Structure 1
């Protein structure tokens, strides 16, 4: 039986559809950003926002939270109202609309930076400099809020389990990448990688579905969350966990052998094996989170790690990781969405060659990459066909 629709919400939707689209005012300069103020309201009420423009510089970092999320399908969009007084609207994806409803407070406004709203997506000239600033925007946010999506597949169980696992250990992200018991650990053995982690099959099912959510498959996430302060939070439905605790939970899941408690029948065993294989698909990206956020990677190492991650615009294969590159590379590449992606790839590759004077980057070139780029330029828009063996796989680091 379907639930009755909210008549007030239906009226608001009709009014939004008839309202004019919001007209962005040009930013005063390249050192300015917009912030979105989410007006207070209940989960059922229509979304109302305001936009303001503020100076963003070393001498004047404004207060805001930054949102990290999956845009969602462009085919499913909703209109949200910008200031009830002027009656204009902005079109956002349905996933962002749901996020806004969960993020807004009931008693006071919430000021955030959200790329889809704060950057005029229709203005490619504005978009380039704003994308260039995104690393600093996430770095200087009071908090980064990660939106995984609404509650589903026992996500509340998964969030609670990840919070518990993460609370049991300490983890050295910068040096040894080893676990040690937390000061108030109820299970000190959780930090011993030789002792298997016992999980109920329902817990494994919930955690796997949580880690397979589309946010973890986004290209932009490493930049957004790696640059975030320790106040970052993960939000799924009505559950939230601090990012550092969630990250330690990931360490437990990845670094300890698992023994899943399930019924001994073939169907249950097959289900557990399938969940394990599904979780394996996220291993490379999840492992990258455990490395120190302050270690810069090369453009090619990032491609190796995030080559299968999703982004809507092929140019973002470069622009989405700029803040993770060494300064001599990242700060020299200027996003320009007026250029075809083939030109962006070619210019980036030539810049890497001139800067590093290292011809080994030519190994990233692959045959059959299409007519958009020369054969001597890496096809960053496609998944890598091979994996480079890096120094950590040297025989001196591996015990037989």
Structure 2
């Protein structure tokens, strides 16, 4: 249902260099009720550390190809300008907001499509530098795989079954497991969901303290999926499975940027500049580079990256050029 004519939402500047916006999603008894929220700002270094602060959850998802055509009503928390405004969001965002909304309590979420001013290239570049910490600090990361096509509950049931039966006698190592054809089809269908191919999800899932997969109404702890993947290597030869395992490895031991670029070369992004930007949360501070989406093109990013890496290790300059030529 379209809302009456409402002015478009205008983003206010962030209150500090380390501030983030958070969606406060208002409750509704009906799934179909108009989506309403307010946007608040947290100074990440101060307010997010307070024990009495309402901590947020972050959402990891794919944007999809459809344009922003759904309406999100943004209620004002400004006493001088109390009028409501409207923000257009993509169908995928509309879908998971409805699923995550509660009937009687507000929900605090970080959603990049809403919390970042996508039209401000400078702000976007600054916020991308914080995204690793945003996902690391979130109390939970909700992974939205899309609406359930009737397979979510069955697939997650198979994963739970394999977890309960798939360890060795000592209960510590996953056994090599032979899957039935129907189980292979279900797990392959899950791992071929678009989310598993997206480049940005690498750091989002690697840095999550607690991640939950959502497929329509069905949900599953991400740790349950991760625990069966090593034993599935003979049955599921998929890039997405290797991506998840490598992301877990990157969360345990630091990987250099060149290694990350090689290991995640198959992960996709719509903007070639994001091939570097999407990995910034996983590298050491010395390897991070600032990206200005208003001024930087792909060539300038790779040139700056090459200069930085060569200055760090002059002896490997030739190898660095070979690597970056392959990626750029």
Q: TM-score, normalised by structure 1?
A: 0.73
Counterpart in 2 of 1:324?
Answer: 282
TM-aligned CA deviation for residue 218 of structure 1: 0.7
Structure 1 residues 79 and 134, CA gap change in structure 2 (3 angstroms): same
The answer to whether structure 1 residue 207 and structure 2 residue 190 are counterparts is: no
TM-aligned CA deviation for residue 58 of structure 1: 6.1
TM-aligned CA deviation for residue 379 of structure 1: 5.4
Counterpart in 1 of 2:27?
Answer: 40
Structure 1 residues 83 and 181, CA gap change in structure 2 (3 angstroms): farther
The structure 2 residue matched to 1:141, chosen from 133, 138, 141, is: 138
Counterpart in 2 of 1:216?
Answer: 196
Counterpart in 2 of 1:380?
Answer: 327
The answer to whether structure 1 residue 68 and structure 2 residue 60 are counterparts is: yes
**In 2, distance between residues paired with 1:34 and 1:58?**
14
Counterpart in 1 of 2:320?
Answer: 361
TM-aligned CA deviation for residue 350 of structure 1: 1.1
**In 2, distance between residues paired with 1:119 and 1:129?**
10
**In 2, distance between residues paired with 1:122 and 1:292?**
31
Q: How many positions carry a matched residue from both structures?
A: 315
The answer to whether structure 1 residue 246 and structure 2 residue 225 are counterparts is: yes
Q: Secondary structure at the match of 2:145?
A: strand
TM-aligned CA deviation for residue 283 of structure 1: 4.3
TM-aligned CA deviation for residue 247 of structure 1: 1.1
Which deviates further from its counterpart, 160-169 or 338-347? 160-169
Contact 2:19-2:43 within 8 A present in 1 as well: yes
The answer to whether structure 1 residue 163 and structure 2 residue 164 are counterparts is: no
The answer to whether structure 1 residue 121 and structure 2 residue 118 are counterparts is: yes
Counterpart in 1 of 2:37?
Answer: 49
Deviations 1:257-314 (A, max 9, x none): 44xxxxxxxxxxxxxxxxx6xx534343244145251212222222222212111221
Structure 1 residues 168 and 139, CA gap change in structure 2 (3 angstroms): farther
The answer to whether structure 1 residue 26 and structure 2 residue 26 are counterparts is: no
Q: Which has the higher contact order (CA 8 A, sep 6+)?
A: 2
Counterpart in 1 of 2:79?
Answer: none
Counterpart in 1 of 2:307?
Answer: 350
Contact 1:167-1:245 within 8 A present in 2 as well: no
TM-aligned CA deviation for residue 168 of structure 1: 4.3
TM-align CA RMSD: 2.3
Q: Secondary structure at the match of 1:66?
A: strand
Contact 1:284-1:305 within 8 A present in 2 as well: no
Which aligned runs of 4 or more in structure 1 are off by greater than 6 angstroms? Answer: none
Q: Secondary structure at the match of 2:252?
A: coil
Structure 1 residues 104 and 251, CA gap change in structure 2 (3 angstroms): farther
Structure 1 residues 341 and 14, CA gap change in structure 2 (3 angstroms): same
**In 2, distance between residues paired with 1:335 and 1:165?**
43
Contact 2:56-2:108 within 8 A present in 1 as well: yes
**In 2, distance between residues paired with 1:337 and 1:290?**
29
Q: Secondary structure at the match of 1:122?
A: coil
**In 2, distance between residues paired with 1:31 and 1:45?**
34
Counterpart in 2 of 1:270?
Answer: none
Name stretches of at least 5 consecutive residues in structure 2 with no aligned partner. 77-81
Q: TM-score, normalised by structure 2?
A: 0.88
Deviations 1:46-82 (A, max 9, x none): 2111110111116743511111111111435312111
